[in-house]
Structure 1
Amino acid sequence: MTNLIAATAVFLLIHFVVSGTRMRDTLAARLGDGAYLGLFSLASVVVLIWLGFAFTGARGADGEALWGMTRGTQMAQLVLQLVAVLFILPGLTTANPTSVQQEGALERPDVIKGMLRITRHPFLWGVAIWAAGHLLVNGEPASLILFGAMLVLAVFGTASIDAKRRRALGATWDSFAAQTSNIPFAAIAAGRQKLSLGEIGWWRIALAVAVWAVLTWAHPYLFGVRALP
């Protein structure tokens, strides 16, 4: 469990302290954007692999589960994972100025469409929903540490990215942020945007459902745990 705690702490540290503060600006200025992104990406992958192995080693080793999975929570988890993939996949395949090296998308007059009408951080909110769903059915200490950390990173990561973009882009970012929302569907509820499934792309929606179905079926083969009842 100590190894998992250490890996989780380092993973959060490099994202919140290194990438999420003005330290990122200082390092990028000294190293160059390309070198900084390359080193940060490498560090993230290495620590993520460490986190995965640490979780596998810690799961079931220390402490009793605080709660278990019921049929009801299992069904809720399936729905949450579908919603998560519907945020993650379209979010990854849609031009978005909050994504790495996509700030130039703000120059497009039609940049706010599809998933960006729902939230300017679709990928991170998808990760948050994914993590919350796994917490719902996994109450053992190792899962609480791993999925809890991912939930915290995703939710607070949205605010961190907003702050970085505001520092870098100023009024251009403020205009974009005023027309969109961080919280999913908040801009639509406030009347600043409208929901348009067609703009998201029916192929993205269909692909997301297909990916969810495959991952659900293959879950016991990939992760050793059944996702289906």
Structure 2
Amino acid sequence: MAGAFSDVTIAVATFVGGHFLLSSLPVRMVLIQKLGENGFRLLYSVVAGATLFWSIASYNNAPFHGLWPPVPALVHLQMLLMLASAVLFATSITTRSPTAVGGERMLRDPKPPAGILTVTRHPMLWSFLLWAIGHMAVNGDVASLIFFGGIALLAAGGMAHIDYRRQSQTGADWGPVALATSAVPFLAAIQGRCRIDWAGIGLARLALGLAIYAALLLGHEWIAGVPLVRF
């Protein structure tokens, strides 16, 4: 059976490994010196896009080998995780963040982190992580564990790597952000290090998240071939 899933395994390993390799400080700094910041970002985008396309194609062509039967409760769990993922994604793309690409320029901003950053400083990666976990649970097959498991690993590892890189490259400037936020959602607020900025998150961002969620539900059959809403 292992041979049947070799293509998707190799593709996902290349996708995930390529991200971590190009993002590692030694490799990143050498490439930036040779290509410049914009050249490095272009190379990173091309490699990420090509390996993601390869991973998706390999996943779609992989045989189905179920590990557990469909469980209705997992379907409901997936719907909730998709909702949380959509809201996190919406807030991440509409909020300036010190953990985003180019976000190191924000580290000297005297204003404390606001909005969704008071929930987690990695909202986009959490949106991908929750999305991947939900799909692994509800699909319950080998190919999905490989594909979505790789994305989950990349998202979780990416949080730790970004924090390490920011601390290594910016030193003391990273301290206030690390102190006032947390990678784990709501942890900083629970520990009393910040207060959730619900006003900064705003109804408009929540509405955008709901719109993305509705679009995913309605368009899931077109995207993945599996209908989630029937009329």
Amino acid at match of 1:53: A
String of CA shifts for 1:185-208, please: whole Å, max 9, x gaps: 110100111112221121111010
> Which residue of 2 is the match for residue 5 of structure 1?
9
8 Å contact from structure 1 (residues 105, 111) kept in 2: no
8 Å contact from structure 2 (residues 112, 177) kept in 1: no
Distance 1:68 1:45 in 2: 33
Gaps in structure 1 of 5+ consecutive residues: none
Gaps in structure 2 of 5+ consecutive residues: none
8 Å contact from structure 1 (residues 117, 180) kept in 2: yes
> Which residue of 1 is the match for residue 21 of structure 2?
17
* Partner-residue secondary structure (3-state), 1:183: coil
Distance 1:152 1:228 in 2: 29
Number of equivalent positions: 226
Percent identical pairs in the alignment equals 35
Distance 2:175 2:99 in 1: 13
Matches within 5 A, 1:93-172: 93-172=94-173
Shift of 1:106: 2.1
8 Å contact from structure 1 (residues 74, 227) kept in 2: no
* Partner-residue secondary structure (3-state), 2:107: helix
Shift of 1:21: 4.1
Shift of 1:216: 0.9
RMSD: 1.5
Amino acid at match of 1:26: V
Report the TM-score when normalising by structure 1. Answer: 0.93
Distance 1:56 1:46 in 2: 16
2:56 corresponds to 1:55: no
Shift of 1:158: 0.2
Change in 2 beyond 3 A, CA 1:188/1:178: same
